[in-house]
């Protein structure tokens, strides 16, 4: 049904297909990580601002 040459090329095609799937998976993971970091950035920014404002309040009390 298939020629021997085609069957001999199948492992190479499988390897390419798996490597492409792996690259897509890595890109997906990187995309998820970047989305999570973008979502957590506003929370950390407000947290650092709160910390700075508390620090300023303490300095005001000392004066």
* pLDDT tens figures, 26-51: 999 999 999 988 888 765 555 555 55
> Band of the pLDDT at 21, cuts 50, 70, 90?
very high
| Mean pLDDT along residues 12-34 | 91
Q: According to the model, what pLDDT value does residue 16 have? A: 84
The rounded mean pLDDT for the chain is 75
Burial pattern 28-63, b for ≥16 Cβ within 10 A else e, equals eeeeeeeeeeeeeeeeeeeeeeeeeeeeeeeeeeee
> Band of the pLDDT at 56, cuts 50, 70, 90?
low
Q: According to the model, what pLDDT value does residue 52 have? A: 55
């Amino acid at each position: 049904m298939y020629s021997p040459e085609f069957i001999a090329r199948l492992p190479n095609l499988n390897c390419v297909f798996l490597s492409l799937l792996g690259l897509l998976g890595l890109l997906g993971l990187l995309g998820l990580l970047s989305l999570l970091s973008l979502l957590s950035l506003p929370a950390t920014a407000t947290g650092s601002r709160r910390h700075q404002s508390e620090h300023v309040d303490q300095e005001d009390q000392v004066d």
